[in-house]
Each structure stands twice: as structure tokens, then as C-alpha cells.
Structure 1
């Protein structure tokens, strides 16, 4: 167990370091000049060069990166070029919104996809199976931003059932999380369906049925417990895709989370904030994968010895 934990932490450190390198190179490869944006359109060349020197943007890239890593190891992610706010403070202030949205979306799509997958596996080839398959394919093909706009228009603007946007209570999280959940539920429902069909055809399930064990026990104790293991693995891999969906969803529903902060920092060429948002998001994905890994070991203890 200890060796597995250390190995996972080591890979996490490598992934996060790689994230800083790639993000740093991409940000500095952009042809736009963040110093000129910061100085304003009316700033003369002398003022721009003075600000560039003060910020350290005139140093070689290796020096700038070394300074960034040194500050990072001290817990200093820098200061926003636009607002003057400490990057870490801005991230921590918006983190609860993004975390609430992501966790609610995951809970919703698991609560919808698992029963649908079990149901369609139980009645494979029947009308309900074909109906769920068609709906799943449609849901998977829907762009997140389009679905968000449709739900916002029909369930908020037209009916007033939910808030149009903003962040003032638990009702504001329903439509954004439903948007993310609906797009991903179809895929997970088919994944659970495929695994359940394979498990239900296994010999030990046939033996359980032959012994007269109730069907619901066969489905949920013998079938679902084994069928859900691959789903847990895919869930960890999909955390990065979830964060991408969060960016669009938060901006459509005007949620003050990391997604809105990410787009604002990109539009404003706020280099320290861009670096901070990407690293913080990568840390969330890495932590989620570590949690999923331990959940996997809890469900299937055989993994611990691998």
C-alpha cells in the first residue's frame, strides 16, 4: 500500500511539473505582448520597456521559469497583471464554486447512468434498451455550450423554474450541473450496460441464479459490483474532460468559478493568472485520479497487490 501511494505521488509530481513547463512555453509562444496589454494602448515604447524590466519579462525564458518555480515552491503563484490580486487568493475564492459544480455533476450522472445501464442490460434487445441507446447517442453528440443555452432559455428564461445565472444559493447549481451530467450520462449508461451484459453472462452469475438467489441480489450484488469497476477507472480519466466542460458551463451561467477566471485571464493575457488556473486545475484532476485509484482498490482489493 505504501509503495503504491508513493508511486502515485511521484507520478503526480511529474505530471504537475510537466504542466508548468508546457503552460509556460505556450504562454510565452503567444505573439501578443502581455506587457503592452498591461501598459495600455497609449503607453510609449520607453514606458513599455521599463515595465517589462520591472516584471522580469526581459530575462531569458530559463531565468523566468526558474524564478516562477522558486516562487511556486514557496507557495507564491504571483500577482494578477490586471487586478493586482494574489493569484492564489483568486483561485481559492473561486474554487468552492467549481468544486460544487463538478461534484454535483458527477453525482447526477452516476445516479442516472448506473440505473439506466443496469436496466438496459436486464432488458437487452427490448424497446427500453433501444430507446436508451438512441437517447444516449444524441446526448453524447450535444455540445456542452449549446445544451447549456437550451436549458437556460427554456427552464430559466421561459418558465422561471430556475435562476438564469449567478451564484446565490443551491438552486443556481442545478442547471449547470444538469448540463454536464446530461452530456456524459449517455456514455456512462452504455458503459455500464456493456459491462453488465458481460458480467451477467459469466458462469458465477448463472450459478447464483440456479441456486434461486433473488434477481435483484444477482443484479446489484453479483453483477453491478463487478461491472462498475471499469466505470470507476474511466471516471478518473474523464476528470480532465469534465474541467473543460466546466469552463463553458460556468461562462454560460455566469458562475464565479475557475472556468470564468480562466477565460478572463486568457482574454486579458494575464500570464500569472493563466499559469495559476492551469496548474490549479491540473492539481484538481490529479487529486481526483488519486481518489479514484483508492476507490478502485476498495472495490477490488486485488488491485492493491498489482
Structure 2
């Protein structure tokens, strides 16, 4: 078991390292950030002096080495715009992002699991076909487009909810629904598939033939034995929701990490972007790590993989 844990820890480190490396070089393609902090008519000497002050006049490989050296110690530098600690700014926004992601996950489960169970039990009926069709559409609709539709209908036309900002439950409604759309579709299809697999087992047929009430058959035997893969998906989906929150927060101006990253990308505030990617990558990798460990504990055969 110890060897398995060590192997997974190494994988977590590699994933985070690769994520930071790729993003470090990709954001450099957006251009020189010094041009955004100086007047358009700034003399060349002033531009070069400012680039030297920020360290952007050094070769890219030197900048990368310095960045990685600091990142190992949790130092991502200071925001180019505000001068504040980049990692501190990201961490201050994390509670709002977690609030959004966890709320979306809870809403997804409340809606999706009952629908998935009913869809499996009523297999090949009109309800099942309609449910599957809706989930396909839900997975195909881009989150940002769905969010804009919700804003147009419920904020601009009906004026039931605010279109942007945070601070109250009303502000959460539209972004949570937007973020939950894809997860609901995934969970419905996954729950339906897991339930169909269990319902086809011999012991379910035997239990049903013995006259067990339908509700008991579904809840006690079928759903209970379908929960292991569903729980795995729940753990992984939290990481997906945290990543997807970047776009949703930008659409609704939600004061989370996603909104901060979107603004930082526009401003070419590299330290904040890299600190944000680091935190998201760590969370996603740790969630996967914990899921792997729990799976290995339940099923020792997984440890040899």
C-alpha cells in the first residue's frame, strides 16, 4: 500500500509541474505585459528600464528557472498591477469559488440521482428517452451560452435575480444553475448506466421474484450497489466544477478565483494566473489522489496498476 501511495504522490507532483510549465510558456504568447502598464507614447528607454525592473528582459529559460525556484517554496511573486502577493490574492478568492462549486455539485446530485434511477427503472419508456435526450443536450450546451440565456430571461426580462456580483443567495442562483448543467447531465447518464448494470444481476431478479416491494428493491439493493462508481464520479466532478467555475464566474462576475484569473489574463498579470493554475491543479490532483487511495483500500487489486 505504501508503494502505491508513493507512486500516486509522484504522479500528483508531475501533474502540477506540467500544468505550471505549460501555462508559464502559453501566457508568454499573449505579449509583453509592460506595454499595459506604461503610456502608449512611453519612450523606448523607459520601457526597457521597466522590463528590466520586472525581469522580463532576461532569457525565457532564466525566467522559467526563477519562477520554478520560487514556486517550490510557494512564492509566485507579486501582482504586476496591485503589488500584492499573488498566491495570497488567489487564496482569498477560493472560498467564493468553493461555495459556487459545492453548491452546483449538491444541486446536481439532488436532481440527477432520482432522474437517473427513474430512467433506469423505466428503461425504454417515453420518460427514459426524454431523460436521455435532455442529458445529451445538456452536455452539448456551452456553459457560457447557457449562462447568458439565464441572464437574459431571469435577470433582464423577469428581473427575478441579479445578473452579476455576489454576497447573497439570490446572486448564487443563476451561476449555480449554469455550473450544474453539465454535471446534472453527466450524473443522470452515469447513474442510469450503473443502475441498469445492477438491475440486470441475478440477485435482483431473485429478490424481485420473491415479492420484494419496488421501493425496497430500488433503494436497498439496486441503488446501494450502484453508489461506488457514482461516489467516484462525485469526487472527480468536484475538480471539474472548480475548473469550469472559471468561465461561469467570468459570465456572472462572481468574486471567485475564476473571475480573478479572467481579469489577470486580460491584464497579463502573470504571477496571479500562475498562482491560480497552481491552486486549481493542486486541488484537482489531490482529489484524484484521495479517490485512488480509497479505491485501492476497497479493492487491493488496483494497487498493482
TM score, norm. by length of structure 1: 0.90
Structure 2 CA distance, aligned partners of 1:104 and 1:296?
25
**Structure 1 match to 2:74:** 75
**Structure 2 match to 1:219:** 218
Structure 2 CA distance, aligned partners of 1:243 and 1:227?
25
Structure 2 CA distance, aligned partners of 1:188 and 1:290?
21
Q: 1:222 to 1:3 in 2, by over 3 A?
A: farther
Structure 2 CA distance, aligned partners of 1:148 and 1:291?
32
Q: CA deviation at 1:239?
A: 4.9
Alignment of 1:131-280 (within 5 A): 131-239=130-238, 241-280=240-279
Structure 2 CA distance, aligned partners of 1:305 and 1:137?
32
Contact 1:140 1:183 in 2 (8 A): yes
Unaligned ranges ≥5, structure 2:
none
**Structure 2 match to 1:84:** 83
Contact 2:51 2:57 in 1 (8 A): yes
Tell me if 1:45 matches 2:37: no
**Structure 2 match to 1:302:** 299
Structure 1 CA distance, aligned partners of 2:191 and 2:156?
35
Alignment of 1:105-116 (within 5 A): 105-116=104-115
Q: 1:304 to 1:93 in 2, by over 3 A?
A: farther
Q: 1:267 to 1:111 in 2, by over 3 A?
A: same
Contact 2:183 2:237 in 1 (8 A): no
Q: 1:205 to 1:297 in 2, by over 3 A?
A: farther
**Structure 1 match to 2:9:** 9
**Structure 2 match to 1:127:** 126
Structure 1 CA distance, aligned partners of 2:30 and 2:131?
48
**Structure 1 match to 2:60:** 61
Query: What's the C-alpha RMSD, in Å, of the aligned pairs?
Result: 2.3
Contact 2:105 2:238 in 1 (8 A): no
Q: 1:192 to 1:61 in 2, by over 3 A?
A: same
Q: CA deviation at 1:20?
A: 1.5
Bigger drift between 100-109 and 183-192 goes to 183-192
Q: How far does the alpha carbon of each residue in 1:119-172 deviate from its partner, in whole angstroms, 9 at most, with x for none? A: 011111112112212222222222211211222222233333323221112332
Contact 1:232 1:296 in 2 (8 A): no
Alignment of 1:281-292 (within 5 A): 281-292=280-291
Bigger drift between 221-230 and 199-208 goes to 221-230
Q: 1:93 to 1:304 in 2, by over 3 A?
A: farther
